[in-house]
Amino acid sequence: MRAFAIVMTCLVVLVLSACTSVKVNQDYDPQVDLTRHGTWQWRDPIQPPTGDIRTDNPLLDQRIRRAIANHLNARNISYTDTQPDLLLSYHLVIEQKIQSDTYHTSVGVGRYHHPWYGGLGTETRVRQYDQSRLTIDILAADTNSLIWRGVGTYRPKAHKTPQDAAAAMQTIIDKILAQFPPARSLSMR
C-alpha cells in the first residue's frame, strides 16, 4: 500500500510539472552561507504596484505569497513577525515576445530558358505571445543586502478554477525555490 502511495504521488508531481514549463536560473553571493537561516518575513507587506493590470491583481499576489510561504514552511524556514533572518520579495513582469518559424513547403525542378533550374518554397509564420518572468529575491535581514535571486520564466495560462491557478503557481514557485540554497552553499556545511 505504501509503494502505491509513493507511485501515485510521483505520478501527480510528474503530471503537474508537465502542465507548466518553467525555465529557472539563480544568482547568489558565494560568500554567504545560505543554509543557516530559519526565519523569514516579507520585505514589503503590500506588493508595490507595477502599473500593469495583469500583475497588479490582489488574488494573484495572494497566490504567489501563499505558494512561497508553503514552500519555505515545507523546508523548515518559518515565517515570523519579529527579527527574521531573511527578507523576501518578488517581482512579476509579463512581456510580449515574438516567435517566428520558417517551414520548407515545396521543392521544384524544371526547365525554362536555362538548361535546368530549381527552387525551394518557404513559409514563415510570426506570432506574438506573453511571457511571464517571476523574480524572487532573498535578502539578509540584518544588512538588507541581496544574497540570492531566483528567476522563473513561463508562458501564463488561463485556468478554469482558482484552485487550478493556485496549483500552477505552486509548481512555478517550487521550481524557482528548489534552487535555494544553491548546491555550493550546501557543500559549505
pLDDT digits (tens, 9 = 90+) for 31-55: 998 888 899 999 998 889 999 999 9
Q: Is residue 89, in this structure, part of any structural domain at all? A: yes
Q: What is the pLDDT of residue 11?
A: 44
Mean pLDDT of 173-189: 78
Q: Is residue 121, in this structure, part of any structural domain at all? A: no
Q: Is residue 114, in this structure, part of any structural domain at all? A: no
Question: H-helix or E-strand containing 119?
Answer: strand 117-140
Peptide bond into 30 cis (omega under 30): no
Domain total of the chain = 1
- Residue in 42, 45, 33 with CA at minimum distance from that of residue 137: 42
Q: What is the pLDDT of residue 111?
A: 63
What's 33's domain CATH number? 3.30.160
Structure-block grid coordinates of residue 124: 514563415
Q: Is residue 28, in this structure, part of any structural domain at all? A: yes
Banded pLDDT at 114 (limits 50, 70, 90): low
> Is a pLDDT exceeding 60 seen at residue 20?
no
R_g of the chain, CA atoms, integer Å: 23
Q: Is residue 26, in this structure, part of any structural domain at all? A: yes
Structure-block grid coordinates of residue 55: 500583475
Q: Is residue 122, in this structure, part of any structural domain at all? A: no
Domain extent, residue 38, equals 2-100+129-187
Q: Which amino acid is at 155?
A: R
> Is the whole model's pTM more than 0.85, yes or no?
no
Sign of CA dihedral 91, 147, 66, 80: negative
> Is a pLDDT exceeding 80 seen at residue 70?
yes
Q: What are phi and psi of 118, to 5 degrees?
A: -140, 165
Q: Give the count of beta carbons closer than 10 Å to the beta carbon of residue 45.
A: 6
Sign of CA dihedral 169, 36, 80, 140: negative
Facing residues of 165 across strands? none
Q: Is residue 105, in this structure, part of any structural domain at all? A: no
Structure-block grid coordinates of residue 57: 491583481
Q: Is residue 35, in this structure, part of any structural domain at all? A: yes
Banded pLDDT at 165 (limits 50, 70, 90): very high
Q: How far is CA 158 from CA 16, 122, 171, 175, in A?
A: 15, 33, 15, 20
